Amino acid sequence: MSKKEPDLHSAYALETPDDHKRLYAEWAGDYDDSFAAREDYQLHIHTARAFVSAGGQGPVLDVGAGTGLCGGVLAGLGVGPIDATDISAEMLDQAMRKDIYRDAIEADLNDGIPVPRESYSGIVSSGTFTHGHVGPEVIPALLRVARHGAQFALSINAKHFEAQGFSDALKVLDGDKIHNLSLPQVRIYGDLAAGENKDDTAFVALFEKT
């Protein structure tokens, strides 16, 4: 592995699940400080607040939970219990140290989530649906583990919303598998951010499972 310190550009360059595992195994220990704080990362806050404002409640699955940034906001807003799933065991280890989550589930979303059908009343995801991570093809796996009427809040990088097929996938699902779809657009980073990605935005896909 390159000795170059992991950063935002490294994350945006991910192409495969193995790439993801390697990067986040290296980054897990100081992700909160070296990325979230330095870049004034705000997406997890917007996603959690949107979920709660839409009436979301537990039990919740935090998809692509990483070190637990979104879960921490949810817990602070009184939501629980919360389970975490991520492809990176090292990131989950950091998340579980925060005493936010009931359980940690190591899983590649492309292979499904190893929990029983209809386990959750809410599904949240912040920062997973972007660049080389995963695409809309995993949404059915999320719907499988959600109960009827479950509230979803999935952040999707705006630059890739159309290009990676999220718009079309949600249109196909809307009215059949999901309803009450709305797509508020939010800034990923705050006013203290710098660099070429500082003005990036994301859609927060809010919907309920039918």
- The residue among 40 and 126 whose pLDDT is bigger is 126
pLDDT at position 171 over 60 = yes
Lowest-pLDDT choice from 17-21, 59-63, 110-114, 176-180: 17-21
pLDDT category, 130, cuts 50, 70, 90? confident
pLDDT at position 202 over 60 = yes
- pLDDT, residue 132, reads 56
| CB-CB contact of 114 with 85 (8 Å) | no
**Residues 6+ away with beta carbon under 8 Å from 2:** none
- Dihedral sign of CA atoms 157, 160, 164, 169 in order: positive
What's the DSSP call for residue 36?
Answer: I
- pLDDT, residue 40, reads 86
- pLDDT, residue 91, reads 87
Interatomic CA distance for residues 157 and 70, integer angstroms: 16
- pLDDT, residue 80, reads 98
Rounded to the nearest integer, the mean pLDDT of the chain is 86
Condensed to tens digits (0 to 9), the pLDDT of residues 96-109 reads 999 999 999 999 99
pLDDT at position 23 over 80 = no
pLDDT category, 133, cuts 50, 70, 90? low
pLDDT at position 17 over 50 = yes
pTM of the model: 0.84
- pLDDT, residue 10, reads 42
Condensed to tens digits (0 to 9), the pLDDT of residues 70-90 reads 999 999 999 999 999 999 999
Interatomic CA distance for residues 189 and 114, integer angstroms: 32
pLDDT category, 32, cuts 50, 70, 90? very low
CA angle 194, 199, 205 (to 5 degrees): 135
Interatomic CA distance for residues 61 and 50, integer angstroms: 15
- Residue 90's nearest CA partner among 70, 115, 65 is 65
Condensed to tens digits (0 to 9), the pLDDT of residues 41-63 reads 899 999 999 999 999 999 999 99
